[in-house]
Structure 1
């Protein structure tokens, strides 16, 4: 359209000028001169689109945090020039996770994707609904009830020991009694066999059966795969209702597994309802499902969602942590030896009956477990969207602003953890008393609760945190006490995973039984 033509058509000319001015305002004037976000420190480059595909997820965020260690927030530009805010300081994290927690929600696309794996339970509920659900569910996760489960956890860990011994005999490697073992699947089956009885009163027996459809379903659903990462990425740019209709193999897989798991959970709930009617309220005292059903606060459909959440999140957290704990012990033999010495001193034999006070008082065991959870948080990154205009670390945040929380980066932040933030240092979590004895601490020597985000903090903190840590103590004590572990290769495992942190291709390690324990 030539200038003369425009002058002969003033209305069209006005539309063109208005469009150019709006575009200039959106891309140049507003972000540089009027946006309340303009004073937030910014990264160089436009790299946040890569975060979802990088390995490990969160390494770019860690680099940005190290470049600006004192920043509370860091502004990242994407390929379209739109800002995403990285939370990097304790004040910002406190505002998002505690002070103004309900001003922020997971984006709808991500929630819809996650719901296909973990249901619309506590993790994905928001606002008043989240408050209601957490109030009902919290009593079932009281520390006293969790401590009642240590005997169950230890019993299942002993079954794991037997399975690992058989696997070692079937896959000998070199001399000296070592066998090649893939630990990821064993870890997943162990934690599934713990969460099943504890949460649902159902023993899936995945450790002792050749085929187990429940275990296989979760292993397939959470399998690290670049196509799954790409599928997750679609939820950021395309409405979930459209993504579900795309002719993709991932859609077919998730639909099949989701349908199977929902039907399984529904059948278990119906069976539980019948048992409660026949046997009364005293049934399965440690069974979380029994307590939830007895509250009368949820419909059967809502309970199915909660059960999916407990099954997926409840077993995957500890399974991932156990795998990485074994890797760290193989990589650092001195840590493994010191840990095993403490285990054997406090637990004379793997057949010893375990009580909560034995494991919770073991300083080095707790230090190794805490460092594993710090260095390899199960969920390395998550996102939030401001659902209303709010305040974060002194900045006014407009509605619709996207935030990224990166536990992987915060847990390694040198501002919190010092120059050796990337190293496993179990002693961080140990206090030495005046009489020379030691005891575990809960801070790792840091000065803020927001220095570690593995389980988040505040009202949205993971309700199963104490359960997961109890499981991990049992599992690590059982495996490291019973087996010597060595690396198969000096090559670092590639960290990947769609939702959780996994070793690409599995975690293969050399194990040898310790016959004297």
Structure 2
């Protein structure tokens, strides 16, 4: 082991690095444990070394290479060989198993091929009713803040996204917006926090040590709640589908399930691979739990950041207002898929928000073989961290990168931009399979909020307290004021 480490140390020596690494512990003693301070530290390093194509760190005996230049990001993300997620993703496996996010190799390729059709736009259209209903509940919850003082909207949006993901993933309305103290909701948040804390604490990486401590025991209890909930939903839906099939066989004219909404779960229970094999109960649970994990926090963060930026740039919000007026007039009818397609400027707002505040601020790959990036050899077994937060601020592609300018995403302004300069949903073979779903949900919720309210932000950017955890989170929340939309017209 020491020989392997010494060999890697020697092979990686030419790569640009930060001074202060020690043998065996590397830069670990320098790294901040607090999520907010750690993220600021990483961003500070990428700024100081922006003239370099990449940056090497040692976390213990593990070489970690940060990349934040489009041409180097392309090398990693376009590779059909470098598709294994980082070692850190193993801490998601107790909850998510080896689903689409965490699996590798042939299992990932087969599963990706099976699941891609379930995110076709005609299927996503079935989910829009749920999004509209939950967005209206959110608007009702926000009413009490109209013409009042500033309030933190982050948790409101997150509960709305959780309700949407539960109903679209499992066909189960958990009513998180009405009951944020439900056992399942609490377990989701305890589990997410536990995973993040474990990732930052090397002494908790060994399973037997982790399970001996209080943190590990709480993790196990949350896991039981989450898996029991999903298992029960799958079993119930499987039974319903079997019963419906029997009714259809007995009565060709039966329409007992004709009007029932489809959920992601229904699609998983029917999907087959090239040999005609269906997914096992455990396979289905892996994908439902993965959809739950990936689909609520990330979307909620994107909506919150969009609201913050719109509230900070009233001239942009006025343009969104004009577009909403053009599409909906004074009507408060639910948005249709055609309506959402017409909201071109709002989509540019969302994309620019994701440029400045990508929901996933960094993600990583484990190198399966040696790889040349930016003129340097990175050895097999290294962890490569891609940092969209820094990548999206490259002035070569985004002049005045800290400015919020949705026009950057007008079609005429996309010409000549490097295709890997902007990767909020990753890119290449392991890009986010649910990105169309996410954009549709963000447009649905934002359009509903902005048709009712005018938003004013109550924080300067330096007051947000950015923390790059599993998602990019404002440790101080998102504080906004609301006014009645029509009352603001002048």
After superposition, the Cα gap between the structure-2 partners of 1:40 and 1:97, relative to the gap in structure 1 and judged at 3 Å, is same
Q: C-alpha displacement at 1:335, in angstroms?
A: 2.1
Q: C-alpha displacement at 1:128, in angstroms?
A: 1.2
Q: Does 1:41 align with 2:16?
A: yes
1:459 maps to: 429
Q: Does 1:298 align with 2:279?
A: yes
Q: C-alpha displacement at 1:406, in angstroms?
A: 1.3
Q: C-alpha displacement at 1:477, in angstroms?
A: 1.2
Q: What SS class does the counterpart of residue 162 from structure 2 fall into?
A: helix
Q: What SS class does the counterpart of residue 511 from structure 1 fall into?
A: strand
Q: C-alpha displacement at 1:94, in angstroms?
A: 2.0
Q: Does 1:492 align with 2:475?
A: no
1:242 maps to: 208
Trace 1:4-403 onto structure 2 (pairs within 5 A). Answer: 31=9, 35=11, 37-46=12-21, 50=31, 53=34, 55=36, 58-69=39-50, 71-77=52-58, 83-102=63-82, 104-107=84-87, 110-116=88-94, 118-166=96-144, 168=145, 177-209=147-179, 211-223=181-193, 230-234=197-201, 236=202, 239-248=205-214, 250-280=215-245, 284=260, 286-295=262-271, 297-349=278-330, 351-393=332-374, 395-403=376-384
In 2: Cα distance, 1:232 partner to 1:43 partner: 22
Q: Residue 92 of structure 2 contacts residue 195 of structure 2 at CA under 8 Å; is this kept in 1?
A: no
CA offset digits 1:461-502 (Å, max 9, x no partner): 111111011100111111122112223344611122641122
In 1: Cα distance, 2:35 partner to 2:298 partner: 21
Q: Residue 454 of structure 2 contacts residue 484 of structure 2 at CA under 8 Å; is this kept in 1?
A: yes
CA offset digits 1:234-271 (Å, max 9, x no partner): 2x4654323432323x3233222221011000000001
CA offset digits 1:61-114 (Å, max 9, x no partner): 444444454644332355x6864211233332222212244464321xx22322
CA offset digits 1:12-39 (Å, max 9, x no partner): xxxxxxxxxx99x976x985xx62x344
Flag structure 2 segments of 5+ consecutive residues without an equivalent: 22-26, 249-256, 272-276
In 1: Cα distance, 2:433 partner to 2:476 partner: 30
In 2: Cα distance, 1:63 partner to 1:305 partner: 37
Flag structure 1 segments of 5+ consecutive residues without an equivalent: 1-21, 170-176, 433-440
Q: Residue 158 of structure 1 contacts residue 350 of structure 1 at CA under 8 Å; is this kept in 2?
A: no
Aligned residues between the structures = 464
Q: Residue 182 of structure 1 contacts residue 509 of structure 1 at CA under 8 Å; is this kept in 2?
A: yes
Residue from 468, 473, 497 that aligns with 2:438: 468
In 2: Cα distance, 1:194 partner to 1:380 partner: 23
If the length of structure 1 is used for normalisation, what is the TM-score? 0.80
In 1: Cα distance, 2:178 partner to 2:33 partner: 36
Q: What SS class does the counterpart of residue 404 from structure 1 fall into?
A: strand
Q: C-alpha displacement at 1:162, in angstroms?
A: 0.9
Residue from 425, 434, 449 that aligns with 2:405: 425
In 1: Cα distance, 2:396 partner to 2:33 partner: 25
Moved more, 449-458 or 390-399: 390-399
Q: C-alpha displacement at 1:427, in angstroms?
A: 0.6
Q: What SS class does the counterpart of residue 416 from structure 1 fall into?
A: coil
In 1: Cα distance, 2:5 partner to 2:103 partner: 33
After superposition, the Cα gap between the structure-2 partners of 1:218 and 1:349, relative to the gap in structure 1 and judged at 3 Å, is farther
In 1: Cα distance, 2:236 partner to 2:209 partner: 35
Q: Residue 18 of structure 2 contacts residue 57 of structure 2 at CA under 8 Å; is this kept in 1?
A: yes
Q: What SS class does the counterpart of residue 423 from structure 2 fall into?
A: coil
Structure 1 consecutive aligned stretches of length 4 or more whose deviation exceeds 6 Å: none
Q: C-alpha displacement at 1:370, in angstroms?
A: 0.5
Q: What SS class does the counterpart of residue 131 from structure 1 fall into?
A: helix
After superposition, the Cα gap between the structure-2 partners of 1:286 and 1:417, relative to the gap in structure 1 and judged at 3 Å, is farther
2:251 maps to: none
In 2: Cα distance, 1:356 partner to 1:489 partner: 34
CA offset digits 1:279-308 (Å, max 9, x no partner): 239765642111111125321112112111
Moved more, 113-122 or 192-201: 113-122
In 2: Cα distance, 1:192 partner to 1:331 partner: 26
Q: C-alpha displacement at 1:506, in angstroms?
A: 3.1
Q: What SS class does the counterpart of residue 449 from structure 1 fall into?
A: coil
Q: Residue 483 of structure 1 contacts residue 514 of structure 1 at CA under 8 Å; is this kept in 2?
A: yes
Q: C-alpha displacement at 1:187, in angstroms?
A: 0.9
Q: Residue 66 of structure 1 contacts residue 413 of structure 1 at CA under 8 Å; is this kept in 2?
A: no
After superposition, the Cα gap between the structure-2 partners of 1:238 and 1:261, relative to the gap in structure 1 and judged at 3 Å, is closer
Q: What SS class does the counterpart of residue 128 from structure 1 fall into?
A: helix
Q: Residue 136 of structure 1 contacts residue 297 of structure 1 at CA under 8 Å; is this kept in 2?
A: no
Q: Which has the larger radius of gyration?
A: 1
1:513 maps to: 484
In 1: Cα distance, 2:416 partner to 2:309 partner: 22
